[in-house]
Structure formats: structure tokens, C-alpha cells
Amino acid sequence: MWYLGGAMTKAALATAGPVRVRRTQQERSAAMRLRLLDAAVDCLYELGYSGTTTIEVAARAGVSRGAQLHHFPTKEKLVTEAVRHVLAKRLDEFREAFANLPEGADKPGAAVDILWEKLSCKVFYAWLELVVAARTDAPLKEAVVEIAGQFLDQVQITARDYFAPQDDKLLSLEIAPAFAFAAMQGLALDRIVWPAEDGRLDRVLAALRGIATMAVRAHDSPRSTSSAPTPKAR
């Protein structure tokens, strides 16, 4: 009987599904926060800033109203943190994609393409919703200005990691990221009203690639022409 019982126990264990590991309260809270951030970006993209409500975000995230208020007590806090979070994630993706470019790639041109790819998606339009709304909303403007400054600081750090410093006062590494970001914000706006078949978007991106490539080549240095540039140690 002991043997049969042991065999039955082993058989039951063999057919049982994988053991579910209970998440800690901290893990559940972090997952809930991420759902709220993702839902907030979706709402900004689909409904605009005025149409985005904390009630709608909580419903999309599958979170109770009380839990949403615990994490983000105001709409302003929720939407700004959501955009901040996703922009940081896209910048990390940019760094990874740029670091994995093949040897011999046109790195300045590729930087334009990768940045546009990462920033022309729904998070970019969610950001534009905040920028427009911030024009007449002083508290929101303060948060948006902070996010924009932090984002451009990180873009400039990334540029200094991968490109040699330029002495050109017109398009230095301090100005080039801001120039690219401003141009891409304009393109994102124009894409709203340009016809789908309009070829100007591709031509403007090609012009930006050309400007970036020429700027780096005009200030060529041993670091920028090395076969395998590596990021500077932080």
C-alpha cells in the first residue's frame, strides 16, 4: 500500500501544472503601476489630453479607482509620468539599436533613422498632446519643461558617447540633438495633415540623414573613423 500511495503521489505530481509563484506586494504594485502608465499613453494617443480621464485610464488598466489614486493622485501626475517612463524606455532602445549597428554603417544617418523610428510612434503623439495642452496650463507646463530638459540631456549624453566632439558652433554636439528633436517634432505634426502618399516625409528624413553625415565627416577625427567605436566609460 505504501508503494501504491507513493506511486500515486508521484503520478499526481507529474500531471500537475507548473507551480505558481506568488508575487510579493511590491511586485504586484509595480506591475499595476506599469499598466496604468501604458494605459495613460494609449489614452493620450487615442483620445487626446482633453479626452483622457483618470477613470478611463483605470478602466483600461483593470485597476480600481482607489488603487489608481494611490499611485497617481492627479491626472497631471499620471500622464506626465507615463510619457516620462515611455520616452526613457525608447531612449534605451535607441542606445541598444545604435550599439548593434553593423561595421561600416553610416552611423550619423542611422542615428536619425533609429531616433525617428523610436519617437514617431504613439508615445511621440502622446508627448505632443502634453506639449500643446501645456501652453495654457501652467502646472502642466512646468512638468513638461522638466521632462523635455531631462530627455534632451540624455540624448546629448548618448551623442557624446558615440560621436567625437565637434568645434563647429553651428552644429555642435550640444545643438545637434536639439536640432534633430525639433525637426522630428515638426515632421510628426506634418504627418497628421500630409496625405498618406506624400513623399515629403521621406525626403525630409533623407535631408536630415545627409546633414548629420556631412556634419560628422566635415569634422572627422581618429575617434569617429575608427572601425569599432566604443562608448566612453561612464
pLDDT tens for 9-33 read 555 555 555 656 677 888 889 999 9
CA 114 to chain centroid, in Å, comes to 12
As a whole number of angstroms, the distance between CA 153 and CA 174 comes to 9
Which residues, including other chains, have CB under 8 Å from residue 89's CB and lie 6 or more apart? none
Please determine, for residue 155, whether its predicted confidence score (pLDDT) is greater than 60.
yes
Give the C-alpha distances (Å, rounded to integers) separating 53 from 31, 61, 82, 128. Answer: 20, 12, 13, 17
Instruction: Report which of residues 121 and 219 the model is more confident about.
Output: 121
Q: Give yes or no for a contact between 162 and 107, defined as CB atoms under 8 angstroms apart.
A: yes
pTM (2 d.p.): 0.74
Classify domain 74-225 at the CATH topology level: Tetracycline Repressor; domain 2 (1.10.357)
pLDDT tens for 93-126 read 888 888 888 888 888 888 888 888 877 788 889 9
Out of 43-52, 179-188, 219-228, least confident range: 219-228
As a whole number of angstroms, the distance between CA 164 and CA 221 comes to 7
pLDDT band at 224 (very low <50, low <70, confident <90, very high): very low
Collect contacts of 69-78 with beta carbons under 8 A, ≥24 apart. 71/29, 71/32, 71/33, 71/36, 72/36, 76/139, 76/140, 76/143, 78/36, 78/37, 78/40, 78/54
